[in-house]
Amino acid sequence: MGAIVIVQFVRAVTALSLVGLVVAGCSKPLTPIVPTAPEVTVTSPVIRTVNNYSFLTGRATASEVLEARARVEGYLRKPEIEEGKLVKKGAPLFVIEQEPYKLALDEAEKTKKQSEAAQSLAQANFDRAKITFDKGAITIQEYQTQEAQLAVATAQVNRDQVAIDQALLTLSYTTINAPYDAHVGYLDIDEGNIVGVGENTLLATVNRYDPLHVYFDVSENIVLKALDQIRENRTEKGDVRNKLKIEVSFEGEDGYPHKGYLDVLDNEIDSATGTALVRGVIPNTKSSFAYYQKNGLLPDYNAESDSDKPQEFPLVLPGAYAEIRVIGEDVIQEACLIDERAIGTDLLGKYLLTVESDNTVTLNRIEMGQLYQGFRHIIRMWDPEKETTEAAVGQVDTRGKDFPTNFKYIIKGLQRARPGKKVKTSETTSVFYDTKIEDAQAAVETPAVNQEGPGT
């Protein structure tokens, strides 16, 4: 009975399978799905004449730093300054008790008066001795004795004057004045403490905040260019007529609002890094900045301070991180500028995705120059599939040196594009100060934006 049931079940399954095959054979074939080309946005490069900039980073420092220290012993009187305040040149900062040093000066002055009295007596004795010696009334030995006593009395007066000068100098050490218009930091010691015992006690640190110095390292190539420019701009007296201009930006600032110039170039290049330390100087108050903008030079900071002129707080504090743009005299004619957001990076370096006339994507290797308000200067561009020959060791790589600039590159939809594949494009326009340009400087100091942001 069990065997009959099994046989009937097998026959039923076989029959259902045959019916399924017949139904499948009668149905229509499936239509294959053809993928559509991804949509991307393309734009054309901007061709402009631009300055040849160098972009560097560094730190701001005070142009002068004074460590106010006690040079004499004594109790510290109430400080004449407040923490964090500005002080004028010549203003008193600290006063150390003066009474002991005034007493020492008074004693030295009285001692000198005593010596001057003795000198007067010695002078009178010498004058009488000379008269009597000329008459032959005294011996030459007596005459020389009076002459020597006068010399000793005169020397004592001179020595007492030195003691007075020393007492005056020591007394002057009890008052510490500001050597320049300055910004006071925290006070390192409070009123009533004994200072100057066994050491020159630090009282406070005072910074000269205007002008502000900016230190940064530059490459050997920039150093050589700077030296060439300095030699060309020297006068017969050896003064530099036109110093290399710099523009500086600090944290949170747009563009490079601080203008100045290179002040000092180090006397050697670091062989380990191939760089040299340079110093730039910029105005650090609104009034001195306005003076620089008007006259092309900094004010005379060594002039006497005008007590009626209100002081200004610095625009930037020393120690701030700085981004520096060094302006070269040479310009780049017809520079090819592309939106930096379109540049990609892989293990082989930087690349740019362009679209050919048949909408095929091409990956191009690029050599980049400076950044101009969001647009990157492209020095060389080549297709690695076509130009495969690299330069020999010691030879200049000329691949892509004379690339055409009438191409289209992808600015939006970068992650959807694949080299060698076709895309569907829509075009936008890159805007880079598209008005009349009077000179190359105006071309690089204006904001550049793109109408379409980069895609994902």
- Judged by average pLDDT, the poorest of 29-43, 47-61, 154-168, 202-216 is 29-43
Residue 60, CA distances (Å) to 139, 204, 205, 317 in order: 79, 20, 17, 8
* 238 pLDDT tier (thresholds 50, 70, 90): very low
Q: Contact, 374 vs 50, CB < 8 A? A: no
pLDDT tens digits for 14-63?
A: 555 544 544 444 555 666 776 788 999 999 999 988 877 778 889 999 98
What does the CA dihedral 361, 366, 371, 374 come to, rounded to 10 degrees?
A: 10
Q: Which domains does the chain have, with CATH numbers?
A: 40-50+332-450 (2.40.420.20), 56-62+207-328 (2.40.30.170), 68-204 (2.40.50.100)
pLDDT > 60? residue 270: yes
Highest mean pLDDT, choosing among 11-15, 272-276, 443-447: 272-276
> What's the pLDDT at 234?
58
Q: What is the mean pLDDT of the chain?
A: 80
Q: What is the mean pLDDT of residues 276-296?
A: 85
Give the whole-angstrom CA distance, residue 208 versus residue 185.
Answer: 11
HSE-up of 391 (CA within 13 Å, CB side)? 9
> What's the pLDDT at 290?
84
**Tokens standing for 64?**
């002068």
* 4 pLDDT tier (thresholds 50, 70, 90): low
> What's the pLDDT at 361?
94
pLDDT tens digits for 94-123?
A: 899 999 999 999 999 999 999 999 999 999
Q: What is the mean pLDDT of residues 177-181?
A: 86
Q: Contact, 74 vs 100, CB < 8 A? A: yes
pLDDT tens digits for 311-370?
A: 788 888 899 999 998 876 667 888 899 999 999 999 988 999 999 999 999 999 998 887
| Threshold 0.85, pTM exceeds | no
User: Residue 57: how many CB atoms within 10 A of its CB?
Assistant: 11
List Cβ neighbours of 295 (8 Å cut-off, separation of 6 or more).
Answer: none
Residue 57, CA distances (Å) to 246, 255, 304, 322 in order: 12, 14, 34, 6
Q: What is the DSSP string of 387-402?
A: ---PPPTTS---TTTT
Give the whole-angstrom CA distance, residue 426 versus residue 38.
Answer: 11
User: Residue 151: how many CB atoms within 10 A of its CB?
Assistant: 13
**Tokens standing for 85?**
């305040």
Which of the two residues, 235 and 314, has the higher pLDDT score? 314
Give the whole-angstrom CA distance, residue 161 versus residue 113.
Answer: 10
Which of the two residues, 231 and 111, has the higher pLDDT score? 111
> What's the pLDDT at 27?
53
pLDDT over 70 percentage in the chain: 79
pLDDT over 90 percentage in the chain: 31
Give the whole-angstrom CA distance, residue 362 versus residue 350.
Answer: 14
